[in-house]
Homo-oligomer: A and B are copies of this chain.
């Protein structure tokens, strides 16, 4: 006899058991429907790509984390670590077949060999949506509006979306004479929610070499009471009205017109670190659980596919971190789990009736009932244990006499109410609540 192999998944990887996968699949379906209702269309790209394509623009950290190898044909290949780089390659490769503005969503797994820790996995799902080929307030607003609608579609309404504009911030930094240190400053400012004001002030003083500059920056990033007041303030500090602040005003006016402005705050401390964003940027926090971090973030970028084509393709997009969001929902008790999609179970009380059970199952399915036959005629306690795990609301029990008459007994498994001697069609009506 062969030795048994220990069945186990790799470190940082996970199986999804039915309850967890039903939850995840349900969230993905709702997000998908919302993305579609806003005009976004799906695409798909390969999990494996040429390493050169995936890593050309990346920093050393990404390079260390990527799953990279030589395939059997000697090609240097890697598993995608996000959905943005493949989208850039896709846009360049298919630019003649596509139309612009092009709005795509892509919900798929990505892989990073990060140090596994609570809530961090080496395989996880990203839910991206981007509009490329339009540099307009409409496109910016649509993404921001969809962020709220998508989260709302999965029952996540108690959120705040923090919005900022990198252009206004850059103007301000130029005016205060700090533009040469803008990368450092953006990185420091972005940490304020995590490390606190004093730490940020100290670091800013060190980087700018001036307490007064640090104080000016700290003043700039402090929001006022309302979106409009904050916008007035930062516009003034940045030197007055310009394209960037006009864009922000237009976006805000759209929020007001669509009556969704309450969910957004203008937060000048949001910078998305060192990323490639050039216009609006945003992060989304659960009001009851801000500590888990942003569950939906993104921004506007100048040029999506510059590595692969000459034409500039500006874009704006956002991404929901599904695994983090599920962790948050679980903590908040908002992650409802179910064990199956079944309406009813036909219990197996006699092997002799197997053929009749299947006949009834066929009739019920024709009427729109999701139903299965318990395949083996084992003890009822065992059958009930399985249907319990599957959270099935209705049971069907059939005696030999009922089989003869073409009827059955329907049982509500929570109230224990029974309907004896009814037909499959009558049972279907009760089950479907008609």
Contact = CB atoms under 8 A, between A and B. Distances in A.
A356 B138 CA distance: 11
B254 A41 contact: no
A18 B104 contact: yes
Q: Which bracket fits the contact residues of A?
A: 35 or more
Interface string A92-122: 1110011111011000010101000000000
Contact of A46 (B9, B39, B48, B362): B9
Contacts of A38: 365, 370, 372
Interface in A322-349: 339-342, 345, 348
Given A44-B16, A46-B9, A389-B99, A258 B25 contact: no
Contacts of A305: 7
B373 A142 contact: yes
Contacts of A134: 375-376
Contacts of A149: 365
Count of identical protomers in the assembly: 2
A385 B371 CA distance: 46
Contact of A358 (B71, B73, B138): B138
A42 interface: yes
Interface string A377-396: 00000000110011000000
A15 B386 contact: no
Interface string A3-16: 01111111101111
B358 A99 contact: no
A52 interface: yes
A376 B136 contact: yes
Nearest to A316: B375
Given A308-B5, A358-B258, A46 B13 contact: yes
A342 B257 contact: no
Given A254-B358, A385-B99, A73 B11 contact: yes
Nearest to A48: B10
Given A253-B355, A257-B362, A356-B257, A342 B39 contact: yes
Given A9-B93, A47-B123, A4 B41 contact: no
29 contacts: A4-B307, A4-B308, A6-B308, A9-B46, A10-B48, A10-B75, A13-B48, A14-B46, A15-B93, A15-B94, A21-B43, A22-B41, A39-B340, A39-B370, A39-B371, A39-B390, A48-B67, A72-B113, A99-B390, A101-B374, A101-B376, A136-B354, A138-B357, A142-B372, A254-B354, A254-B359, A257-B359, A258-B358, A259-B362
Contacts of A386: 99-101
A434 interface: no
Nearest to A385: B99
